[in-house]
Amino acid sequence: MKSHWRRDHAGFSMVELLVTIIIAGIGFAAMVPLFVQAQQNTSADNMRNVTLQVAQEKIEMIRLLDYDDVTQAKLDDESFDNSQFGNSYTYTGGSGNSRTLSVAYTVALVPETQEDGTATVEGEEDYKQVSVAVSWSGPPEPVRAASLTTSVYRQYAGASITSFEVGPITFFFNDSAFT
C-alpha cells in the first residue's frame, strides 16, 4: 500500500519562508528611495507655501502704507513701520523650529522714462509697481523663490480714507435727529 503525503497539512517549508522574506526585502529596499523622494518633495512644497504666504503678507502690508512711504529705502529698512519690513523674516514652524527667510523688495516707478527719454523721478510717476520675492537657503532643494507684484496708486481726489468704521446712520429732519 502506498501512502500519500498531503501538502495542505504540512504548511510552509523553511526554504519557502526564506525566499518570501528575501523577495519582500528586495521590494521594500526598492521602495525606500520613493519614500525619501516623497518626503523631500513634501518639504519643498511646504517651504514654497510658507514663502508664498509671507510674500502675500508683505504685499498686503505695503498696500496699507501711505503712497509716499512706498520706497525702496523704507521697505529695506528693518526698523521702518514697527519693524514689519526689512530683508529677513523669521518663520517658526509647528515643531518649534525657526528658519530665516530672505525677503527682497523692488519698487519701480511707472513709467520708467518720461516722454523726453529722461528717467522718471519720484513724484512724476503715474503709479509704483512693487515686487516682493521671498526665498530660503536650502534644504530642501531646489530653492524656488515666491514672487508677487502689486501696483500702488496715489489717491488724488477726495479726502484721505482713514477709517472704515461703520455706525448707525443719523438723519436730521426739522432740527430733530433720527437713527
Residue 8: band (very low, low, confident or very high) from pLDDT cuts 50, 70, 90 = low
Residue whose C-alpha is closest to residue 97's, from 36, 40, 52, 50: 50
Encode pLDDT of 122-135 as tens digits: 888 889 999 999 99
Residue 116: band (very low, low, confident or very high) from pLDDT cuts 50, 70, 90 = confident
Residue 89: band (very low, low, confident or very high) from pLDDT cuts 50, 70, 90 = very high
How far is Cα 25 from Cα 45, in angstroms, rounded to an integer?
30
How far is Cα 144 from Cα 131, in angstroms, rounded to an integer?
16
Res. 5: pLDDT tops 70: no
Res. 10: pLDDT tops 70: no
Cβ neighbours of residue 154 closer than 8 Å, sequence gap 6 or more: 67, 127
Mean pLDDT of all residues in 66-89? 91
pTM metric for this prediction? 0.63
